[in-house]
Amino acid sequence: MKKKLQVLAAKVKVELPALFLALKDQRTSWLAKLLAFLTVAYALSPVDLIPDFIPVIGYLDDLLILPLLAALTIKLIPADVWQDCLEKSKGMWESGKPKKWYYALPIIIFWLLILFWIGKMVYQGMHN
């Protein structure tokens, strides 16, 4: 099982640059572009949805969420577009993936919305 997860994680690393290219391709549908953006942003974000310091489940995002999101996105990209993007992406990020702070924005916004919602619930609970 551990070996399969490692293979799946390695596959996502190869497919990530192709997803980035598919995001910019005119032939990709808006839904596939949205999912490609979320997948790439999540993969490159220095902030995880589930922080890695949480035992066991902290790595679930890297081992399950990211590969599942990538697989769903790839299914929505037309086969010919996907093949073109895979070809163009070979060796694209061999020197390492880009490190940009703005890739963390979707995750930061998600957690801010969660904190806002919790704060709102607590506030309403205190005033009822």
pLDDT recorded at residue 103: 58
**What is d(CA 36, CA 42) in angstroms, rounded to the nearest whole number?**
10
All residue ranges of the chain with pLDDT < 70 are: 1-2, 5-6, 8-10, 46-52, 61, 93-105, 107-108
pLDDT recorded at residue 46: 65
Q: Which candidate, 49, 46, 81, places its Cα nearest to that of 65?
A: 49
pLDDT recorded at residue 105: 66
pLDDT tens-digit readout, 21-44: 998 899 999 999 999 988 887 777
pLDDT recorded at residue 33: 92
Q: DSSP of 40-82, one letter per residue?
A: HHHHH-SS-SS-TTSTTGGGHIIIIIHHHHHHHHHHHS-HHHH
pLDDT recorded at residue 22: 92
pLDDT recorded at residue 63: 73
Number of folded domains that form the chain? 1
Contacts 24+ apart (CB under 8 A), 65-73: 66/9, 66/12, 66/39, 66/42, 67/8, 67/9, 67/11, 67/12, 69/35, 69/38, 69/39, 69/42, 70/12, 70/15, 70/16, 70/19, 70/39, 72/35, 73/19, 73/22, 73/32, 73/35, 73/36, 73/39
pLDDT recorded at residue 93: 61
pLDDT recorded at residue 13: 72
Q: Range of 13's domain?
A: 2-126
